[in-house]
């Protein structure tokens, strides 16, 4: 029976600068900066150990359009190792590493096949009598708003047909809506597998007949990209397709949501227990602690030294650990214990204020003054829809906390 085995990976973001994290302890920050390279090395070793027939990378190999020489050299070294083991690599470029950027161009080894940015292409893989057609197109520029799948045309003469696509499902507001498509668009092509990239979360649009999968990124890069990161190892025969997720990340990002109910000591005990539980994984973890609930020590938590002392007390020994559990930040969403007698704010005002915050959409206007500042231009990138929603949520918490600020109970 004819069959193939391959790896589906995406969103390597090699040499990500981890902007805004320079405040982390030196060893922690250095481990983060090298984590995308470590994930690439693990991806390469996996392909060789599993003796896969080929590897697919569904966009965003690099973190930016002006890819660093270091990133290119490390990728070239990885691809050369795959070439030595007879493993071809099929690549599309996405919105981060589109082909209109500027860089010192390096030649890839012969096993690397990059899809054109000018048109949708079909590349042919053949081994032991099994023929596979692979379809894809790279981004010609950062913002691609057309449905790229419209130009994918199934070619005759193959045992298996696989599509590579970097984009988002139409109507998805959590990410930039580049190369939008629907699951129906993909099903119409009658391919056997769709290898998707762009969404940094592992997810399935369809589990079988055919599988339509986002593998997610291989290494989390900030507090929103939590959990295990890696790739899919896929086996395909004429009878069935099976796939399994393989972890590749070097550092895991997690969020610990913690209730502030009870005494301050109760909260500290829960914090330490939660962090110790994360340590049981025996791998480096960067943690965001989110404090929630109502508490009678709300006003103490609003004092800057309290939260900073909590971080310092826990983190002081973590930078010396190989498998650290490092608290990167504490988000305080607690509220004071209130009652009808102590809360003298009109309910209609609260409702209107909440709706105004949640419907706010003037981000570009609000950020315009900052965009003229050189520090902002150097270290910041445009906010995605998910980031904007998180900012609004945190702003809502801060505004209500200010309203309660002088209402000591």
Domains of the chain: 3-247 (3.60.21.10), 252-404 (no CATH)
- Which positions ≥6 away from 33 have C-beta within 8 Å? 16, 17, 18
* Encoded tokens for 110: 């012969």
In the predicted model, is pLDDT for residue 402 greater than 80? no
Other beta carbons within 10 angstroms of residue 253's beta carbon come to: 22
- Distance, in Å, from the CA atom of 177 to the CA atom of 347, rounded to the nearest integer, reads 37
Tokens at residue 52, please? 């896969």
Beta strands in 93-159, from DSSP E residues, in sequence order: 112-114, 121-127, 130-136
Range of weakest confidence among 22-26, 181-185, 249-253 = 22-26
Q: Is the pLDDT of residue 249 over 60?
A: yes
Residue 11 CB contacts under 8 Å (≥ 6 apart), including other chains: 58, 59, 60, 94, 197, 198, 200, 215, 216, 217, 218
pLDDT (tens digit, 9 = 90+) per residue, 286-312? 999 999 988 888 888 877 788 889 889
Q: pTM (2 decimals)?
A: 0.84
Q: What is the rounded CA–CA span in Å between residue 352 and residue 358?
A: 10
Q: Taking a C-beta distance cutoff of 8 angstroms, is the pair 189, 217 a contact?
A: no
The CA-atom distances, in angstroms, between 360 and each of 354, 357, 383, 385 are 10, 5, 14, 12
List all residues 6 or more positions away from 28 whose beta carbon is below 8 Å from its beta carbon: 286, 318, 319, 324, 326
Q: What are the start-end ranges of the H helices in 225-303?
A: 264-279, 298-301
Biggest alpha carbon–alpha carbon distance for the chain: 80
The predicted pLDDT at position 341 comes to: 41
Q: Please, which pLDDT band fits residue 242 given cuts at 50, 70 and 90?
A: very high
pLDDT band at 368 (very low <50, low <70, confident <90, very high): confident
- Does the pLDDT at position 14 exceed 70? yes
């Amino acid at each position: 029976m004819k069959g193939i085995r391959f790896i589906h990976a995406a969103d390597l973001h090699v040499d990500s600068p981890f902007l805004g994290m320079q405040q982390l302890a030196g060893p922690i920050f250095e481990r983060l900066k090298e984590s995308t390279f470590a994930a690439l090395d693990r991806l390469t070793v996996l392909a060789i150990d599993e003796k896969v027939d080929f590897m697919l990378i569904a966009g965003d190999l690099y973190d930016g359009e002006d890819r660093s020489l270091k990133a290119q050299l490390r990728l070239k070294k990885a691809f050369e190792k795959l070439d030595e083991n007879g493993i071809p690599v099929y690549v599309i470029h996405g919105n981060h590493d589109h082909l209109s950027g500027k860089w010192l161009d390096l030649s890839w080894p012969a096993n690397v096949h990059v899809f054109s940015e000018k048109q949708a292409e079909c590349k042919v893989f053949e081994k032991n009598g099994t023929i596979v057609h692979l379809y894809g197109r790279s981004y010609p520029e950062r913002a691609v708003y057309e449905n790229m799948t419209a130009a994918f045309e199934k070619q005759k003469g193959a045992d298996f047909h696989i599509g590579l696509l970097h984009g988002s499902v139409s109507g998805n507001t959590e990410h930039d809506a580049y190369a939008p498509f629907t699951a129906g668009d993909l099903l119409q092509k009658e391919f056997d597998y769709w290898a998707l990239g762009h969404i940094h979360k592992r997810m399935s649009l369809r589990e079988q007949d055919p599988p339509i999968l986002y593998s997610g990124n291989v290494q989390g890069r900030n507090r929103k990209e939590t959990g295990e990161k890696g790739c899919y190892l896929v086996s395909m025969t004429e009878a069935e397709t099976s796939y399994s997720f393989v972890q590749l990340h070097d550092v895991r990002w997690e969020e610990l949501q913690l209730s502030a109910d009870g005494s301050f000591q109760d909260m500290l005990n829960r914090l330490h227990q939660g962090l110790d539980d994360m340590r049981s994984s025996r791998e480096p973890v960067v943690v965001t602690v989110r404090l929630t609930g109502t508490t009678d020590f709300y006003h103490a938590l609003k004092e800057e030294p309290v939260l900073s002392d909590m971080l310092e007390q826990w983190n002081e020994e973590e930078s010396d650990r190989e498998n650290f559990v490092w608290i990167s930040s504490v988000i305080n969403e607690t509220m004071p214990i209130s009652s009808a007698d102590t809360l003298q704010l009109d309910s209609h005002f609260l409702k209107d204020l909440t709706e105004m915050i949640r419907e706010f959409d003037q981000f570009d206007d609000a950020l315009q003054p900052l965009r003229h500042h050189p520090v902002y231009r150097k270290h910041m990138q445009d906010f995605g829809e998910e980031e904007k929603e998180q900012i609004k949520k945190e702003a809502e918490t801060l505004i209500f906390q200010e309203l309660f600020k002088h209402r000591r109970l």
